[in-house]
Amino acid sequence: MSDKGILVTGGAGYIGSHVALMLAEAGERVVVLDNLSTGFREAVLHGTFVQGDVADRDLVAETLKTHDIDTVMHFAAHTIVPESVSDPLKYYRNNTCATRNLLESCRDAGVKHFVFSSTAAVYGIPEGGLAREDTPTAPINPYGTSKLMSEWMLRDLSAASNLRHVALRYFNVAGSDPAGRIGQSTKNATLLTKVACEAALGKRKELIIFGTDYPTPDGTGVRDYIHVTDLASAHVRALDYLRDGGESCTLNVGYGHGYSVREVIEAVERAHGAPLPVREAERRAGDPPQLIAVTDAIRQTLDWSPELDDLDRIVETALAWERKLVVQ
């Protein structure tokens, strides 16, 4: 633990709020910067909250100085893949250009450590459905490209300055805080687990399975689902690693195995105790049959070991949070 502050951009959002909570519980001094365009003020349970945009260089510079920040964890981003295809400039403006402004402010303020929220979308459709950190990056949508460009900027800045970083490439994040304090409240969400839980509780009239003829055991797409709490712990371990003098690196964050769409739906049905309204449809363009992380590097580099690697547990926490939202 350090007496310096940690700036968590996008810390009122789904993943950022879980990381901010874990950092605060570890005794860190947390400052959350969020414009609340998709985040929720009530998700910030500890620390100092600053409402504003990462693209606001004056605000960022003042925040870094006022709160004596030496570490930035950067989550603020647009994340909806179909939207990135229909409005690519929105994603390059917010995910890439705003990140460039943030990095410049970090350089000028002498920030030492930077943990970046990246994505498996940088790989596109890897051969065989398995992605290692050295798998060629070939994003197939502006979302993935915007994140990869940010990785490149971070790499180059680290080479030209004293800033060191860890870029974490997320696979499919799911679940919510097991204690039920915070969760995924995103409106019009596209992540399967949340959509399935919404369908179970009648918030959606149906759940659509896109593609049932993939070369997978049950014909539906297979993804590597990771509980958001395990993902948050990877960020804490990344911070420990940087504080201990670790070199800049890029790491996958997943469990190293996958579940199919049907398996996720069945898990939600078990937790809910009733079938979901499901409709089958054609494949979506660009969806790989399988996308699974190879996770040897993060386990070795960060000494990271997940604790919630169980689909039923992931779904139970997601459904519990969705039920809580119903009564709020």
Number of structural domains the chain divides into? 2
- Assess if residue 187 is contained within a domain: no
CA distance linking residue 205 with residue 35, whole number of Å: 31
Cβ-contact 259, 311 below 8 angstroms: yes
Q: Which amino acid is at 133?
A: E
CA distance linking residue 205 with residue 144, whole number of Å: 30
- Assess if residue 183 is contained within a domain: no
Q: Which amino acid is at 54?
A: V
- pLDDT of amino acid 327: 73
Whether 132 and 217 share a structural domain: no
Whether 75 and 137 share a structural domain: yes
- pLDDT of amino acid 234: 98
Cβ-contact 180, 232 below 8 angstroms: no
Domain extent for 57: 5-174+225-253
- pLDDT of amino acid 115: 98
Q: For the stretch 67-96, what's the b/e string if a residue is b when 16 or more beta carbons lie within 10 angstroms of its beta carbon?
A: bebbbbbbbbbbbbbebbeeeeeebbebbb
143 is a catalytic site residue: yes
Q: Where are the beta strands (DSSP E) in the chain?
A: 5-9, 29-34, 48-51, 69-74, 113-119, 130-131, 164-170, 172-174, 207-210, 222-223, 225-227, 249-253, 259-260, 278-281, 290-293
CATH number for 323: 3.90.25.10
Q: Which amino acid is at 56?
A: D
Local structure of residue 235 (DSSP, 8 states): H
Whether 197 and 117 share a structural domain: no
Whether 166 and 17 share a structural domain: yes
Whether 232 and 299 share a structural domain: no
CA distance linking residue 194 with residue 177, whole number of Å: 14
Sign of the C-alpha dihedral computed for residues 108, 253, 278 and 204 taken in this order: negative
* Digitized pLDDT (tens) for each residue of the chain, 328 residues in all: 678 999 999 999 999 999 999 999 999 999 999 999 999 999 999 999 999 999 999 999 999 999 999 999 999 999 888 899 999 999 999 999 999 999 999 999 999 999 999 999 999 999 999 999 999 999 999 999 999 999 999 999 999 999 999 999 999 999 999 999 999 998 888 899 999 999 999 999 999 999 999 999 999 999 999 999 999 999 999 999 999 999 999 999 999 999 999 999 999 999 999 999 999 999 987 788 999 999 999 999 999 999 999 999 999 999 999 999 987 6
- pLDDT of amino acid 233: 98
Whether 264 and 160 share a structural domain: no
CA distance linking residue 136 with residue 297, whole number of Å: 16
Q: Residue 144: what are its φ and ψ, rounded to 5°? A: -60, -40
Whether 314 and 239 share a structural domain: no
- Assess if residue 180 is contained within a domain: no
Whether 65 and 211 share a structural domain: no
Of the candidates 143, 170, 214, 255, the residue annotated as catalytic is 143
- Assess if residue 137 is contained within a domain: yes
Whether 18 and 128 share a structural domain: yes
**pTM (whole model) above 0.85:** yes
Token digits for 28? 């860190």
CA distance linking residue 81 with residue 192, whole number of Å: 13
CATH number for 115: 3.40.50.720
- Assess if residue 126 is contained within a domain: yes
- pLDDT of amino acid 62: 97
| Residue that is written with structure tokens 């499901």 in the block | 278
Task: Tell me the three state secondary structure of residue 306.
Answer: coil
- pLDDT of amino acid 71: 98
Distant-in-sequence, close-in-space partners of 194: CB < 8 Å, separation ≥ 6: 174, 184, 186, 318, 322
Whether 301 and 153 share a structural domain: no
